[in-house]
Amino acid sequence: MDIRSVDPAELDLSLRRLRQVREPSVRSMMASLSSKGQMSPLVAAKRGEALVLIDGFVRQVAALRLGLPSVFVVVVELSPVQMKTQLYLRNRERGLLLVEECRLVGELHDVDGLNQVQIGDQLERHKSWVCRRLSLLRTLSPLLLDDMALGLLGACVLRKLALLPVRNQEELIAVAHREGLGPSETSDFIELWQRAVDPEARLYLIEHPRDALRRARGQGETSEAPRMTESTRKLLRALDLLLMASQRLEHSVHQQPDEIEGESSELVVERQREADSCCRRALDALGRWIERQGGD
């Protein structure tokens, strides 16, 4: 077995695009490395002079943050396709996130040219398993893939959303986030929306999802929904979009490397200032409007 001591900063991280490195996992690994040391080696495959990391992405980030000069790495010989399949096979017991499985299957199909049967053979899964993940990847809004990565959407919710047009997927999830609906509530909410054929009924669901869920579950009648002007509806929809954008921005920040340099850094700083100024003006204007209405 080829085990080497390698600077974690020198590992090729090109396959990290297929894995989700979550901040809580990194902090936990940092604590483990500090108290116990490295318990198991990372795994990398040779590609020319480079060592492509295929297992141990959380450990690599934790080692960098701790300033460790080296980590132990098992070096193996793998083809480009095998490198990707090992991402799944070496983590099968712990399980990958659904978004990781979807992206891996999609890359094996679109980039490496494997058909569904071949992907199933490589990953030791049935063709139907491969088909379901490809279907989710093809039909879900790209914006919802970020929510998948955060673990905010369960498999049941995702399957129901995949049956809807992209614009409806995004609208319904925005409402679920706004109202703080849990996985079961979100699933029921989507079913209610699918069954509601009348536009007014769907609008009521969007504006009063919790009240609609209580009625559907037989938890008693609630007061009638307040009448709402079209301008107020637009205001609420704009706030929904702002909430979604802020959640997506926070997730994107967590996925960035520790440092960016040069023109990219300057551009990010400039856009951050513009966004901060615009959002403050908009929210201040909203606050003044609420005060005029006698709101809280």
- Please report, for the chain, the start and end positions of each structural domain, with discontinuous segments joined by +: 1-78, 81-139, 163-242
**In the structure, what pLDDT confidence band is assigned to residue 262 with cuts at 50, 70 and 90?**
low
Between helix 199-207 and helix 183-195 the angle, nearest 10°, is 160
Question: Residue 223: is its pLDDT beyond 60?
Answer: no
Q: How far is CA 146 from the centre of its chain?
A: 3
- Please report the sign of the dihedral spanned by the C-alpha atoms of residue 33, residue 104, residue 95, residue 1: negative
- Angle in degrees, 0-180, between the axes of helices 230-255 and 142-149, rounded to the nearest 10: 60
Instruction: Output phi, psi for 50, to 5 deg.
Output: -90, 155
- pLDDT category at 227 given cuts 50, 70, 90 is low
Task: Give the span between the Cα atoms of 146 and 209, in whole angstroms.
Answer: 23
Q: For residue 219, what are the CA distances in angstroms to 161, 187, 191, 205, 213?
A: 26, 18, 18, 16, 9
Among 239, 238, 210, which Cα is nearest to 222's? 210
CB 123 within 8 A of CB 130: yes
Band (pLDDT 50/70/90 cuts) for residue 184 is confident
pLDDT band at 62 (very low <50, low <70, confident <90, very high): very high
Whole-number pLDDT of residue 150: 55
SS3 37: coil
HEC profile of 203-268 = HHHHHCHHHHHHHHCCCCCCCCCCCCCHHHHHHHHHHHHHHHHHHHHHHHHHHCCCCCCHHHHHHH
Percent of the chain at pLDDT > 70 equals 86
199 φ/ψ sector (left φ>0, alpha ψ -120 to 50, else beta): alpha
Mean of the per-residue pLDDT values for the chain? 85
Q: Classify residue 12 by its DSSP letter.
A: B
SS3 178: helix
Residue 222: pLDDT band (50, 70, 90) is very low
Q: Which amino acid is at 245?
A: A
With cut-offs at 50, 70 and 90, classify the pLDDT of residue 157: confident
CATH of domain 1-78: 3.90.1530.10
204, 175 contact by CB (below 8 A): no
Name the amino acid, one letter, at 182. G
Give just the sign of the alpha carbon dihedral 31, 254, 40, 48.
negative
User: Who wins on pLDDT, 217 or 211?
Assistant: 211
